[in-house]
Structure 1
Amino acid sequence: MPSTQPTSVLPIPPPPPRSTLSLGMMFRLRDAKRRWPFAMRAALCMGIPVVAGWALGDTSAGLMATTGAFTALYGSDRPYLNRAYYLALIALAFTIAVSLGVWAQATPWMVVPAVALMAMVATFLCNALRVSPPGAYMFTLACAAGTAIHAPHLTVGHTALLVSAGGAVAWIAHMIGAFFWPRGPERKAVAASAEAVARFIEAIGTPAQDAARHNAAQSMQESWTTLVSFQPPRPRPDGTLSRLRAIGRELNQLFAEAMSATGPLPAAAIDQARGLGTEALSPQPGAERTDPGHVPLGHHGVVDSLRESLAPWSPALLVTARVGVATAVAGTLGAMLGLERAYWCIAAAMLILHQGLDWARTLQRGVERMAGTMVGLLLAGSILALQPGGLWLAVTLMCLQFVIEMIVIRNYALAVVFITAAALTIASGGHPVPDVGHLLWVRGIDTVIGCVVGLGVFALSNPRVATARISAELARTLEAVAATIRHMAKGDVLTAEAREARRDLQHRALTLLGAYDRSAGSSPRYGAEAERMWPAVVTTQRLCYRVLSTCWAMENSDPAATAETTRTLFGPGGERAILAALADLEWAVLHDDRPQQTAPLPAFVATELQNLRDSLVPEST
């Protein structure tokens, strides 16, 4: 039965350090997971189309197909069945992007609008649907490459077939693993969540507790997305997927116990979490585990994600608007200056904006892009001067792609050196470049113009909007808490509607911290204003996880005792008191007002609601 005692008060940890521009970051190597299998696959997918084109006597056609091979950069963490559909859509998107570029190439004045349109559409969809990096940039780059590759003998129809063929190569390379470890992605996801839960248990009672809990919750949500959202609705009851779901349920229960604990858990709980992770990775996890029947939900589906992203002032719409303005300005400037490839200005402007980073990280990305490009032009010039052809061209592109994927997470500025060389090598179409120096000079100017325009648009777009988003997200989170409380008060935590409410609450808890991160990294003035709201962010997250952990504990109650459990938790008038307190807190958040004193509250949320109220009281009072 869930505890009805008030939870202990934890001190508010200091806010995370703000992001700042650091030139030293360009010379450091960050830690990264094992990358060489991914890098090798991407390199092979890049080289195979070039070799095929060379063997058939049309290297430029092979280079055109490499744009479809960029499909290999996506979906590596998805289950294989879902990955098959997902990568097919990614390959189709690349086909559309490149075909649009080739079509626009025939009408010079259409090039800039076509690439800008692709940048905006790709940015919105990739942000709305949480497409992982490299995200929207590669689709814009593919569209730009379609306008640049010298292959006049290829029609739009031929181009579409070639890009689709490159995508098919990447699809096959991605799916080969299904023959050797068919449930590998699911096993890895559960094992990662087990390690995150173990680290949270270790952090209980320390200043790192809130951050560790957030990481564990995020990892658990990713795990359930892999086990539920990316799967058929009814798995085989005695199959591996059902056994992994059962392991995930045990982790959920352990996570709930850890969140409800008033002090550190015994070391056996840490061993239990890591043991479940080891079991998830085992080839034969144990036939006694069967489908648990009801499991948590993962991320929102496509329709819900699009609906949320289409709401006014949503992060996806804000980023798309910035990209739209920046690409239009950059493309117009490039055209006015008579630059031969003004679309590279668009690509550079879009690159530093499409991920929706805060100001400090956007500035860091712009500086790293410009610095890496300048050095990369020297490497590109050397390659173009040597004019590698045939197999040597394939080997060159494979080596460049391998190095890019090995270092892009560790050091972005260094990766840009090789990204620049690869992009210019592909754009050459396998033909000699008449004036290499001129090409490099123009590409450098394009990049600087695009990055400066992108930074300017970001700086001029009202940074106060980012800070105001914290208040909006706090209000939405409190609404999600209220929706979940209404189900709990009925003893209802397992129906489809209740599970969706709990999923939405989990989503809001994670989104809230993302809104804070983007705001704290804005200008010094608004960053300081965001930090003032940090205690409210922390206490609201604690409230969310307190409610969620109580729901998880109620799941394990005897169904016959659910009504008694609910009466014990809420008492007479408890639901009404909680909802009234939440409504008052939401008003205070949205109107920057002082919350009112509320009636006595049920013990299981009394401490969290009082702490949240105290965090909203102005310091001067």
Structure 2
Amino acid sequence: MTATPLDRARASRLLARLVRTQPAPQRYRTATIAAVCMALPMSLAFAAHRPALGAIGGLGSFAALYGRPSPPARDARAVALATLGLAVGFWVCGTAQGRPWLAVAVTGAWATVVTLVCGAFAARPPGMVMPVLVGAVATALPPRDPLPLVAAIAATGLLATLLVWVSACLRDLGSAHAGHPAPDRSPTHGRPRRQPWRPGPLRPPTWQLYAPTLTWAGLRTGAGVALGGVLALAIGAPHPFWAMATAAAILTAGNHATSVNDRALLRGTGTLVGCLVAGAVLAFHPGTAMTVLLLAFFAFATECVVARNYALAMISVTPTATVLASVASPVTVAPWTLAGERLLQTLLGCVGAVAAGQLVTVHWAVEQRLRAVRAVLVAAADLLEEPEPDGPGDRNADILTRRIRHLSLVSERAAGERPAVRNGIAELDAVVRDTNAVADEALRRHREAEKGDHTYAEPLRSLAALLATAESEPPRRDLAAPHRPCTRPELARLTDSVQEWIFTGGGRNPNLGHGLA
């Protein structure tokens, strides 16, 4: 089949993404910390003739990857929490050592949990991939008491936490002595910086909105990781940990179809190159000192590029994990045989991740987008009834802003699904556009301190209720019309788009659009 110009253009874009780096601050400080935290436990373990303990302890250096240029306390807290995730992941998945099928199930479940936690707390990159990678490595080890190994990972991670905190303090101290106060690196995301806390009404919880999206994302990620492991076991691989780690690396930044397909190619390519590097390193049969230096170099390189291009980072992450697993395992495997096994498991992990990217239905995607639309309409109605600042209006405006952000997130994720799903949700584009226009009008009234308008709020509640009941019963046109004439153009457009979606077949109820006057 001859490639079309569109196919060639897409291939060129993917190739450019493979080598293009994203703008990011210099990370030499945390890269050096990662290298030290890798080399120190390995050197001590080799000196004590316990290389396996040092190799597993070296996994704790991955915690340093979560350091960022930020205030010392925040930076240290992020690395400490990453250390906790690495240690818990090794302990949980290590309970399945020696039982491959159970290991696949446990690692898939762990990937689901870590995805939920990272999504709920907006974890820093590299996100859930490192706890899942460490857990997967644990399943490849022979059965043994996991507590000393968990303690080694925790000790290395705590060392990374201490070094990150000290280096951040020294950085700010140096800035102060130079006459340049340390900049406030707390993220604002385009919003004004938060003022000191004062007693006031409690912010309403938002997890109800995000829970379905995060839950499904976690389940898809866990399914992709587990499927990669199942495929590896199906071809006779004794330890499918690398197939599961590859799937996690692909799914870590999102699991909707379009992005997964691209990342499977990009990160899969990086992993393949990394397998070749690992094979060459093991074929060289490095001595103790060279092994320590190589692992420190790989840790340094990973930290330098992980925020810029994760596909390039996999070129150093792969030999790091492979060499550590080789040192920790008493079973000797020929270097290129091991590299070939990793290459095959990489491909199987890509297949598992891509399959997980297809696990969504049109019905579910439309339902999530409708749910987000209804939440925005209800919040806009609340704000229109009480828009005055310095009172309930501030709280209502905050709720509406977060629900608009959630609607945008749901729409962006749905737009990245497979074509059938994208076509199904595209029918709601007009409803979403007009909903955002109404929300903008409500926020404008809040900013300008206008009085409440019940005649504007009631039609919004009616439209939200209509969208909520459209699936369960045939709609009536009199319910779709607002109780009072539409005096605002954005409300009239929203009413028209909702009616058009429901009464011209956009809804999912088979009765919609039939037998209506």
Query: Could you tell me the TM-score, scaled by structure 2's length?
Result: 0.80
Q: Match for residue 244 of structure 2?
A: 346
Structure 1 letter corresponding to 2:27: W
Partner Cα distance (1:617, 1:20) in 2: 38
Partner Cα distance (2:113, 2:455) in 1: 45
Find 1:579's aligned residue among 457, 464, 469: 457
Partner Cα distance (2:73, 2:333) in 1: 47
1:127, 1:355 within 8 Å by CA — same for their partners in 2? Answer: no
Partner Cα distance (2:197, 2:93) in 1: 50
**Residue-by-residue CA offset, 1:316-351 (whole Å, 9 max, x unaligned):** 111122233334433333323221212322233333
Q: Match for residue 60 of structure 1?
A: 52
> What's the C-alpha RMSD, in Å, of the aligned pairs?
3.6
Find 1:364's aligned residue among 259, 262, 267: 262
Does structure 1 residue 453 correspond to structure 2 residue 352? yes
**Residue-by-residue CA offset, 1:363-415 (whole Å, 9 max, x unaligned):** 01112232222222211111112233444323322322333333334433333
1:149, 1:428 within 8 Å by CA — same for their partners in 2? Answer: no
Q: Match for residue 537 of structure 1?
A: 432
Q: Match for residue 388 of structure 1?
A: 286
Give the Å deviation of 1:427. 1.4
Partner Cα distance (2:328, 2:290) in 1: 11
Partner Cα distance (1:441, 1:428) in 2: 14
Give the Å deviation of 1:181. 2.6
List runs of 5+ in structure 1 lacking aligned partners. 1-18, 194-217, 228-244, 246-290, 555-565
Instruction: Quickly say closer, same or farther: Cα 1:597–1:99, change in 2 above 3 A.
Output: closer
Find 2:310's aligned residue among 412, 415, 425: 412
Partner Cα distance (1:96, 1:71) in 2: 13
Q: Match for residue 42 of structure 2?
A: 50
Report 1:233-248 matches (<5 A). 245=195
Q: Match for residue 335 of structure 1?
A: 233
Partner Cα distance (2:247, 2:315) in 1: 17
List runs of 5+ in structure 2 lacking aligned partners. 1-8, 505-517
Q: Match for residue 269 of structure 1?
A: none
Q: Match for residue 160 of structure 1?
A: 150
Query: Could you tell me the TM-score, scaled by structure 1's length?
Result: 0.68
Instruction: Quickly say closer, same or farther: Cα 1:607–1:187, change in 2 above 3 A.
Output: farther
The 10-residue stretch of structure 1 (335-344 or 44-53) with the greater mean CA deviation from structure 2: 44-53
Q: Match for residue 612 of structure 1?
A: 494
**Residue-by-residue CA offset, 1:45-99 (whole Å, 9 max, x unaligned):** 3333333434444333222112222222225366444554454333222112112
Give the Å deviation of 1:186. 7.5
Does structure 1 residue 139 correspond to structure 2 residue 121? no
1:149, 1:429 within 8 Å by CA — same for their partners in 2? Answer: no
Q: Match for residue 297 of structure 2?
A: 399
Give the Å deviation of 1:103. 3.5
Give the Å deviation of 1:511. 1.4
Give the Å deviation of 1:474. 1.0
**What SS is found at the alignment partner of 1:76?**
coil
**Residue-by-residue CA offset, 1:258-278 (whole Å, 9 max, x unaligned):** xxxxxxxxxxxxxxxxxxxxx
Structure 1 letter corresponding to 2:282: L
Structure 2 letter corresponding to 1:59: P
Partner Cα distance (1:133, 1:479) in 2: 34
Report 1:49-448 matches (<5 A). 49-74=41-66, 76=68, 79-108=71-100, 110-148=102-140, 155-176=145-166, 177-181=168-172, 187-189=184-186, 193=188, 218-220=189-191, 224=193, 227=194, 245=195, 304=205, 306-310=207-211, 314-429=212-327, 433-448=332-347
Q: Match for residue 379 of structure 2?
A: 480
**What SS is found at the alignment partner of 1:444?**
helix
Structure 2 letter corresponding to 1:612: L
Instruction: Quickly say closer, same or farther: Cα 1:180–1:457, change in 2 above 3 A.
Output: closer
Instruction: Quickly say closer, same or farther: Cα 1:110–1:499, change in 2 above 3 A.
Output: same
What is the aligned-residue identity percentage? 24
**Residue-by-residue CA offset, 1:195-230 (whole Å, 9 max, x unaligned):** xxxxxxxxxxxxxxxxxxxxxxx432xx65xx4xxx
**Residue-by-residue CA offset, 1:155-181 (whole Å, 9 max, x unaligned):** 322112111111111211221213543
Partner Cα distance (1:391, 1:544) in 2: 63
Give the Å deviation of 1:502. 3.2
Partner Cα distance (1:36, 1:86) in 2: 16
Structure 2 letter corresponding to 1:219: G
Instruction: Quickly say closer, same or farther: Cα 1:409–1:341, change in 2 above 3 A.
Output: same
Instruction: Quickly say closer, same or farther: Cα 1:77–1:607, change in 2 above 3 A.
Output: farther
Instruction: Quickly say closer, same or farther: Cα 1:525–1:390, change in 2 above 3 A.
Output: same
1:463, 1:522 within 8 Å by CA — same for their partners in 2? Answer: no
Instruction: Quickly say closer, same or farther: Cα 1:308–1:526, change in 2 above 3 A.
Output: closer
1:44, 1:398 within 8 Å by CA — same for their partners in 2? Answer: yes
**What SS is found at the alignment partner of 1:522?**
coil
Does structure 1 residue 511 correspond to structure 2 residue 398? no
**What SS is found at the alignment partner of 1:455?**
helix
**Residue-by-residue CA offset, 1:394-450 (whole Å, 9 max, x unaligned):** 332232233333333443333322222222122122689531122112112212112
Structure 2 letter corresponding to 1:583: R
Does structure 1 residue 596 correspond to structure 2 residue 481? yes
Partner Cα distance (1:82, 1:407) in 2: 22
Q: Match for residue 5 of structure 1?
A: none
Instruction: Quickly say closer, same or farther: Cα 1:107–1:516, change in 2 above 3 A.
Output: closer
Find 2:417's aligned residue among 503, 513, 522: 522
**Residue-by-residue CA offset, 1:508-542 (whole Å, 9 max, x unaligned):** 11111111111222233432444443344344334
Partner Cα distance (2:303, 2:76) in 1: 22
Partner Cα distance (1:423, 1:508) in 2: 41
Give the Å deviation of 1:149. 5.3
Partner Cα distance (2:370, 2:306) in 1: 35
Give the Å deviation of 1:143. 0.7
**What SS is found at the alignment partner of 1:434?**
coil
Higher RCO structure, 1 or 2 (CA under 8 Å, sep 6+): 1
Q: Match for residue 259 of structure 1?
A: none
Give the Å deviation of 1:481. 1.9
**What SS is found at the alignment partner of 1:104?**
coil
The 10-residue stretch of structure 1 (464-473 or 121-130) with the greater mean CA deviation from structure 2: 464-473
Instruction: Quickly say closer, same or farther: Cα 1:87–1:376, change in 2 above 3 A.
Output: closer
1:97, 1:143 within 8 Å by CA — same for their partners in 2? Answer: yes
Instruction: Quickly say closer, same or farther: Cα 1:118–1:526, change in 2 above 3 A.
Output: closer
Q: Match for residue 515 of structure 2?
A: none
Partner Cα distance (1:585, 1:611) in 2: 12
2:370, 2:467 within 8 Å by CA — same for their partners in 1? Answer: yes
**Residue-by-residue CA offset, 1:226-277 (whole Å, 9 max, x unaligned):** x4xxxxxxxxxxxxxxxxx3xxxxxxxxxxxxxxxxxxxxxxxxxxxxxxxx
Structure 2 letter corresponding to 1:599: R
Instruction: Quickly say closer, same or farther: Cα 1:609–1:374, change in 2 above 3 A.
Output: same
Matched residue pairs, number?
478
Partner Cα distance (2:58, 2:420) in 1: 46
